[in-house]
Structure 1
Amino acid sequence: MFRVDEPRLGRIRVREWRRRVRHTLGLLLLLLGGATTGLIVLDRSNDSFLNRLFTALWDGVNLVTTIGDFAELNERQKVFMLLAMFATLVVGGFAVSKLTGMLSGDDVMAYRENRIMERKLEQLANHVVVVGFHSLGMLVADRLRDAGQLVLVLVGDEGQAERAADHDHMVVLGSPDAFDDVLKDARLDSASALVVTTPDSNNNLAITLLAHTLNPALPIAVPGENPLRKGLFENAGASNVIIGDVIIADALVDKLTNRVEATT
């Protein structure tokens, strides 16, 4: 699910987590450098400087990574390493207290989901966009999917978004006030068709007009209540306007006609 109104707190938390990770890594590198320098200074062996540097660096890395495979240390180095170990515990405690749990909140999960969906939307093409996921939108989206079409559902309600996701549809969610942005994120430029199914006729008319403006060549199907509304939708850019009462009446008459003919 892609949320147009992405929770800002999720982005803030991720940025803060990254900042704290950088600080933690900086402290560990500082600790490594301090431990290496201290061990070299306290090394009283007759080895070459490169050997002493390597040994000190080896012990410093083991200290920071808590592996514990240290070289042989003299008394001064052992005292120094005790202090360095204490500093490592302090840095480790800082990392645990500052980083643990920051990325497990719902806002962070929504942020991550948005990043994944952004990549999917960028590659989306030849898909059918279905606006709304009430009873009609659900039937249309499910039947299109069963027919092998790639479906993208656009909704302005959290409940509809969750139902559409439960039906394994790709979903773009945005508040009604931000639905212009929802349509812009639906890749109408590369879509094969748009089906508008919300129960609000005025809302359907506005969506049809905006979608036609974004892509004048896009086939748009929308339900209409009467011939007047049909004309309005066609003027707004709809290529197929379906009047439900007409279809129901035709179906009922066909059923009755067929039954009468069968009995005569």
Structure 2
Amino acid sequence: MINLFIGTKQKQSLKSVVYLQQLFIALLLLVLVTVIGTVGYIMIEGYSIIEAIYMTIITLSTVGFTEVRPLSDAGRLFTSILIIFNIAVFAYSVSILSRFIIEGDFRKILIERTMKKKIDQLENHVIICGYGRYGMEISKRFLKFGNSFVVIENAPQKIEELREDADIMHIEGDSTHDEVLVEAGIDRARVLVTTLNEDADNVYVVLTAKQLNPRLNIISRGSAINSESKLKRAGANHVIMPELIGGFYMASLVRKPDTVDFFQLMTEQEDTGVSFSEIVLNELPPSLQNKSLKEINSLELTGANVVALKSPHGDYIINPSPQTMIEPNMGIFIMGTNSQIQNFQKLVSE
């Protein structure tokens, strides 16, 4: 019954601990039999420490070297018992090492430890819950654009796929469990994306994540129509309904195919030289206080175009007037080359 309450990750960690304990026991037995042999030869045959250690080693290794000195009857009996005991210890040690190597647990433990160190160093990263179709696609996009992220998955088949891809940091576990989210560095993360199949599981992840990190930006997948309101009440900032988005996208391709292709090109392709970017002004620097878009002269100074604004209340202003005043916590959407966007970021941060 206890196993029902142990997560997949906990079981894997427990298994690794058991293997390490067995290896430690095997090593301890080898040391113990060496000590017993050394002490026995000193007491029974009167050997020196060096002679006793040498005699013990050649006896345990069964190399067949000649004894240091002829053994007494008591010495022969002791040697026979030592050999029999060593056979049992040797068989146990070989079985543990063989299973450890053949089953790949040694490699898995090394990978897990290395992965944990990397995850512990992450800051402002993204946590992806689930490595299904959506989680896999998100991971591909993040790898392409260099975003830091970690995947949480508990399906054995998916875990094997993740292990084969050394570029994806991952944790084996149930993302509805607090300790798994903590291990993924939820207190340091900036975004969590949950793509689980069941809406109930996504609601549970959102509730748990929001409790662990109230400042976290949470994006959740939703399946049922009525799940959107539930997920937002649980704490999700955005709820994505794949079927609705797919239908909207296909309808848009019918009505405005070139416009859809243009925006997809601008948001996904970096080789065009021009892209969109969003800059959030959490605090206004002195250079932007009580100034309008025209007064900051961004186009002439940076070459980047301001195409939209997002007010602190969440309202969008498309193609804003040059007289629009800059406000704290405002989002600015700009279009330009990478260098133009970087120049604009410098302008609004000075």
TM-score scaled by length of structure 1: 0.72
Query: What is aligned with 1:182?
Result: 180
Q: Does 1:157 align with 2:149?
A: no
CA contact (8 A) 1:11 1:108 kept: no
- Partner Cα separation in structure 2 for residue 117 and residue 260 of structure 1: 43
1:47-66 alignment to 2 at 5 Å? 56-66=48-58
TM-score scaled by length of structure 2: 0.57
Query: What is aligned with 1:171?
Result: 170
Query: What is aligned with 1:45?
Result: none
CA gap of 1:181–1:60, structure 2 versus 1, over 3 A, is same
CA contact (8 A) 1:130 1:153 kept: yes
Deviation at 1:221, TM superposition (A): 1.2
Quick one: higher RCO (CA 8 Å, sep 6+), 1 or 2? 1
- Partner Cα separation in structure 1 for residue 67 and residue 179 of structure 2: 65
Query: What is aligned with 2:340?
Result: none
CA contact (8 A) 1:5 1:175 kept: no
| Structure with the largest fraction of helix | 1
* Structure 1: 4+ residue segments shifted above 6 A: none
Percent of paired sites with the same residue: 19
CA contact (8 A) 2:119 2:150 kept: no
Deviation at 1:137, TM superposition (A): 1.1
CA contact (8 A) 2:199 2:224 kept: no
CA gap of 1:187–1:249, structure 2 versus 1, over 3 A, is same
Number of residue pairs the alignment of both structures matches: 241
Backbone CA RMSD of aligned residues: 3.7
| Superimposed CA distance per residue, residues 209-230 of structure 1 (whole angstroms, 9 cap, x where no aligned partner) | 1111111111111233577533
Residue type at the aligned position of 1:174: G
- Partner Cα separation in structure 2 for residue 216 and residue 260 of structure 1: 40
CA gap of 1:9–1:140, structure 2 versus 1, over 3 A, is closer
CA gap of 1:175–1:111, structure 2 versus 1, over 3 A, is same
Deviation at 1:245, TM superposition (A): 4.3
1:210-249 alignment to 2 at 5 Å? 210-225=208-223, 228-249=226-247
Deviation at 1:132, TM superposition (A): 1.1
Query: What is aligned with 1:44?
Result: none
Secondary structure of the 1:162 match is: helix
**Partner of residue 95 from structure 1, selected from 89, 95, 103:** 89
